[in-house]
Chain A
């Protein structure tokens, strides 16, 4: 498949004969290429679906990102460092934990190992998406945006997963996350708490909104989610392990229950 990013998103929808495009003079002009890509994306149904699906995520990310920006500044980071973490690591919980460890003066190997353990659940999520994404283009780019939230939406998506959908789904939250961080850093403590009072529930409402419709029609879904949730709760209550590992354990145990109990059930979708 094409490795040229600029050509890829503009051309996947059209005919697969890449050679026909190579000789045309428009290919030499970069801005014409970008224009073509923008138009191709704007008219792509899947990309638009992705954009729409990403709105709750953007809404939920903003207050958290702003909080991170504020905290990063308080921890003594510079703007480019705070923005850099959000832009290059792009993983909510682990960013806050890392800030905390920096403040405590923890050594960098420990911080890196902790971040790794907290984020390793994304590997399971990527495994699921990898198994369901038939058109395998732009994997390095699309895999970067795999987060709890984008995975929750992508894995619940009714239609077949495509790169266009994933791009539409992952791009706005990323922008929202990075700009929220910058905003929080700059504006600092001038933001009144009343503004963000109720927004904290947004992401959880999104998860619930994704889970309930699926759970209502399916006992396996209900049981799996319940088992995973209760396991996570128990592990947190008993303070076993720490954040990332608890989630992984809860996910594994929940999915294991589903696999063992409903061995013969045909999987639906895609």
Chain B
């Protein structure tokens, strides 16, 4: 029984921050400065999501992760395709960690 209460509690504290901005944010009333700020959020998020967690992406094998990330970066630069970046990174990373 206690676990289900815990799950409900976790559900609320996770879901409400995701939902409330959609309900409470008046799109028209956003100050231009806030709008500019929000514009940068995705790129800041991407940067913060990648570094430093990417170095621990492969269990106990940091070089595999770094090389995989490098391959992803090169693939992304060359092809501008996310799928190619992911597949090539997974391939290289697997090969390195299995060898």
- In contact, B59 and A193 (Cβ under 8 angstroms): yes
Chain A residues with CB under 8 Å of B95's CB are 198
> Which of B3, B14, B47, B81 is the one whose CB lies under 8 Å from A81?
B3
Interface size class of B (residues with CB under 8 A): 35 or more
Please indicate which of the listed interface residues B23, B27, B33, B40 has the most CB atoms of chain A within 10 Å of its own CB: B40
Say yes or no: B58 contacts A198, CB within 8 Å. Answer: yes
Question: What string of 1s and 0s marks CB contacts (under 8 Å) between B44-67 and chain A?
Answer: 111111111110011100001100
Is A104 in contact with chain B by the CB < 8 A criterion?
no
**CB within 8 A of A254: which of B40, B80, B91?**
B40
* Contact A205/B41 with A119-B13, A226-B47, A231-B48 known, Cβ cut-off 8 Å: no
Cβ contact of A258, chosen from B23, B40, B69, cutoff 8 A: B40
Is A186's CB within 8 Å of the partner chain B? Answer: no
Within 8 Å CB of A247, what residues of B? 45, 48-49
CA distance A221 to B39 in the complex (A): 10
Name 9 A/B residue pairs within 8 A (Cβ), A-sorted. A98-B6, A108-B2, A131-B25, A198-B68, A198-B96, A204-B49, A232-B47, A258-B43, A263-B36
Extra pairs beyond A108-B5, A119-B17 (16, CB < 8 Å): A77-B3, A126-B19, A126-B22, A129-B22, A131-B25, A139-B19, A139-B23, A144-B18, A148-B49, A152-B46, A201-B65, A203-B57, A205-B72, A209-B86, A211-B50, A227-B47
